[in-house]
Amino acid sequence: MNKPDVCLISCCKTKLKHPARAIDLYTSDLFIKSRKFATQYGLPIYILSAKHHLVHADTLLVPYELTLNKMSTNEREEWYKYVAIQITKELVDKNLLVLAGDNYLGFSDRISNKIINPLNKLPIGKRLQWLKTHTK
């Protein structure tokens, strides 16, 4: 397996109630465990945000209510296209560690980056278990 250069973590519904850096805004157990996993390997982190697309961890965000699950098929398709363009511009030739559910991966067939997705097809409980097992 190729070594990842960057980690992409999906956003979540549970957030702080005030503006914060993207890396601090999301507060679910799954997000926190994903962040800890990426951090222990010193990987730069980007967030796959339903509202803001691909966002660097240090970007200041205001809390919002939007999920890919609530988007129409066309809206999700546009989101995937936009994220693919961002990745192609900002993360060209980077190996991507993706810690996200399948609904966030619709961009993957539009990019040439190598994707490492250890949580592929796992339900949330199994993702949490995997992250706990693989995090110091």
pLDDT in tens, 22-77: 999 999 999 999 999 999 999 999 999 999 999 999 999 999 999 999 999 999 99
- Residue at 43 is within a domain: yes
Domain of residue 120 covers: 6-131
Task: Determine, yes or no, domain membership for 125.
Answer: yes
pLDDT band at 120 (very low <50, low <70, confident <90, very high): confident
Domain count, the chain: 1
Task: Render pLDDT for 122-136 as a digit per residue (tens, 0 to 9).
Answer: 999 999 999 999 998
Q: Are 114 and 98 in contact (CB under 8 A)?
A: no
Helix extents (H) in 16-109: 22-25, 29-40, 73-90
Residue 68, domain member (yes or no): yes
Cβ atoms of 10 and 48 within 8 Å: the answer is: yes
Does position 11 have pLDDT exceeding 90, yes or no?
A: yes
Is residue 1 assigned to a domain?
no
Query: Is residue 93, in this structure, part of any structural domain at all?
Result: yes
Residue 41 lies in a domain: yes
Query: What distance in Å separates the CA atoms of residue 38 and residue 11, rounded to the nearest whole number?
Result: 14
Q: How far is CA 63 from the centre of its chain?
A: 16
Domain annotation covers residue 46: yes
